[in-house]
Chain A
Amino acid sequence: MTLVIDNLKKKFDKHVAVDGISLTVEKGTMFGLLGANGAGKTTSFRMILGLLDPTEGTVTWNGERLSYKRTKLIGYLPEERGLFPKLTVKEQLIYLMKLKGMNKIDIIKEMRFWLDRFQVPEYENKKIEELSKGNQQKIQFMAAVLHKPELLILDEPFSGLDPVNSDMLKKAVLDLQQTGTTIVFSSHQMRNVEELCEDLIMLKQGKAVLQGNLREIKRSYGMKSIRIRADYELDFLRSVDGVLNLDISKDDAAIKVENEQVAETIFQAIAEKGFVRKFEVEEPSLHDIFIDKAGGEADE
């Protein structure tokens, strides 16, 4: 059971929202879809779900097109959260899950299981509008997973959550992956992606600017960051060729350089100057890569 996206394209009038992305997500893996606002993430998700018809290209799950006949195989957490404000947690989960083909008894059983897990069993008969945003999000998450989907699509699942709830949700997502659920998710918070994903794709203006295994991407990524602590001014390093960014704080300096070669040049330069307390070359964080690749003029 694999999700295969082949040369997916979506044009709205003259604007190209998604421009020929291709990817494969293996069963039981977690896949990250990154990109700045307006990069085409939500449009891609909507095409995977069949909410929008692609202008070109195909999306298949297990070799077949995803259509409304197979809706129970998919769970979806939209970026724009929304439930029926006037209905109770129970009422709306019954309606939403019936649409996924579940019967009432199973729905109530699963709902109680998840409410317990999220430590909010008392919300069963509360109206959504009475819940806090974070708790609404838990219910929203339940609406995506109660029917045990094979493919789970999470659009910004962790945004707006406090650290405790964020961890709780993260754990739930990991557990689902353990039981074989295939998960595709998007996030602005790079730390979450680094923690959860094996593979990722990064979009910029609808195009893939980076794609592949997270560890390999980081290892092979040219850009490095260096941390230096020395007893003298480091400002002069700005003029070294290949230095992308120099960020001096109270006790150390973070320098982004084009590649390892530049790091060596810098090492020599400061060694000549005097004693160095700390010199460390780090792999770039996903955050840095994101800003490097997806940032810039495309950022809204």
Chain B
Amino acid sequence: MNNFWTTVAHTAGRRIKSKAFVWSTLTMVLLIILLTNLPSIIDKFSGDEGDNPAVAVVDMTESVGGIAEMLASTAEGMFHYESYPDNQLDAALEAARKDEYDYVLALSGDIENLQAAFYGSGTDFTVSMDVNHDVQRVKEALVTNELGFNEEELAVIYSPISFNELPLSENGEVQTEETYFQAYWMVYALVFIIYMVVLTFGSMIATEVATEKSSRVMELIVSSINPVTQMFGKIIGIGLAGMINLLAIAGAAIIGSYISGEEFIKNIFSEMVDISLIVYALLLIILGYFVYGGVAAMLGALVSRAEEVNQAIQPLVFLAVIALFISVVGLNTPDTIFIQVLSYVPFFTPQLLFLRIGMGTVPTWEMIVIFAILIVSAILINLVAARIYKGGVLMYGKFSFKDGIKQAFALTKKEN
């Protein structure tokens, strides 16, 4: 056990103290603080701070008097509407080109068939949607006014209905828009985190093992410590270093969001994050790390030189990429049979099960079964990996996946 912790400390310590680790972590931290503050930084550099975009309204309608004035008088809203002298569209466009206005809105037709033409840079469809909305509201106000409704009647027309969603099954849950988006982003983030963890830490483990093999220090080490203990020491050690890296990044994201003061980002970190989702995420990251880490250590032990690591971990990388693709596609269809079935496959479980938990509902029994499969397979994979690792660390020669495994098994065979 002592040797296990010595290896953990050695592996994690070497990594954390290495310049590459310090610099990459620092860079990530700075980058994330910068990114979370990007909107306010951009605002600082663009001169017209906080001003609503100006829209010139050209009224070319027949007998719809005062629509431009009514738009201009709407105080609250995202735009600053300005009534432009009637029918002078060309002049208004010219003015907009000279940057006197940001947009030009031309209204034509009559009240029954109101037509709006919106002139902009062509890249702001959200703006046009908002303007459309404003025009619609003003038109409704004009019409109801004309029909002579009093305020009470108007209130009745516009009072919102109360709309409740209820689950069909007992004890079921209904996702609100808020929880949906919360889950959506968390799943998205986790799928990427797992992908990153698998790729970077997996190849770190494999590289570390292969480096010790190629420098031939491995034989000396495994004469003092059981290779299996050493393998787990390495997996845990690199996991710890990785945790520190992730914590630094998470910390940076939180600090960055507080500096920025952006409501949206703050919301993600405070109200929107569901604790149970985070617990599931951590659990799945850790289990996924063991599944992929065990295989990575095994693959690292099968090669003789550090340069061969990339070739050796290719299959693992493919699995991770496939899992990433499936989960990105599955984000919109979490309840399909395809996703449900694949979530039982240990190499896909971390991403797909989390996707199902986050985006839909997974019955408790299914959750227990999937977690059991994941845990059992993590243990089995590591047992097999340990066996191959034990033989593999003493093996030198050209890398071949099939022969390597065969040879490693032969080396660790007791009876013949």
Real binding pair: yes
- Residue in B2, B217, B225, B412 whose beta carbon sits within 8 Å of that of A53 in the complex: B412
Contacts A82-B216, A84-B217; is A51 near B416 (CB within 8 Å)? no
Q: Tally B residues with Cβ within 8 Å of A.
A: 28
With A52-B411, A55-B415 known as contacts, the answer to whether A68 contacts B216 (CB < 8 A) is no
Tell whether A95 is near chain B: CB-to-CB under 8 Å: yes
Shortest Cβ distance from A11 into B: residue: B416
B416–A78 CB distance below 8 A = no
- Is the CB of B86 closer than 8 A to any CB of chain A? no
B10 interface contact, C-beta 8 A: yes
Known contacts A55-B414, A83-B215: does B2 contact A71 (CB below 8 Å)?
no
B223 touches A78 (CB 8 A): yes
In the assembled complex, which residues on chain B have CB atoms less than 8 Å from the CB atom of A55?
Answer: 413-416
A99 at the interface (CB under 8 A from B): yes
B72 at interface by CB-CB < 8 Å: no
**Complex-state Cα separation, A74 to B223, whole angstroms:** 9
| Interface bin, chain A | 20 to 34
Q: Is B220 an interface residue (CB 8 A)?
A: yes
Q: Beta-carbon contacts of B374-416 to A below 8 Å, as 1s and 0s?
A: 0000000000000000000010000000000000001111111
Chain B 182-217: CB-based contact to A (< 8 A → 1; otherwise 0): 000000000000000000000000000000100111
> Which residue on A lies nearest to B394, using beta carbons?
A51
Per-residue 0/1 for A32-56: is the Cβ within 8 Å of any B Cβ (1 yes, 0 no)?
0000000000000010010111010
Residue A98 is within 8 A (CB to CB) of chain B in the complex:
yes
| CB proximity of A155 to chain B, nearest CB, Å | 9
When chains A and B are docked, how far (Å) is the Cα of A224 from the Cα of B225? 48
B412 touches A51 (CB 8 A): no
Q: How far is the CB of B393 from chain A (nearest CB, A)?
A: 9
Quick check: A12 and B215 within 8 Å, CB to CB? Answer: no
With contacts A52-B394, A68-B226 known, is A80 near B219, CB below 8 A? yes
Q: Is B3 an interface residue (CB 8 A)?
A: yes
Q: Assess the B10–A12 pair: CB atoms within 8 A.
A: no
The 5 closest A-B pairs by CB, nearest first: A82-B216, A99-B224, A82-B217, A76-B223, A78-B219
Which residues of A are at the interface with B, using a C-beta cutoff of 8 A? Answer: 11-13, 46, 49, 51-53, 55, 68, 71, 74, 76, 78, 80-85, 87, 92, 95-96, 98-101, 140, 143
Supply 17 A–B pairs (Cβ within 8 Å), ascending by A: A49-B223, A52-B411, A55-B415, A68-B3, A68-B229, A71-B225, A81-B216, A82-B217, A82-B219, A83-B217, A87-B14, A92-B217, A96-B220, A96-B221, A96-B224, A99-B225, A143-B220
Extra inter-chain contacts (7) besides given A98-B6, A99-B224, CB under 8 Å: A12-B410, A53-B413, A80-B219, A84-B215, A87-B14, A96-B221, A140-B220
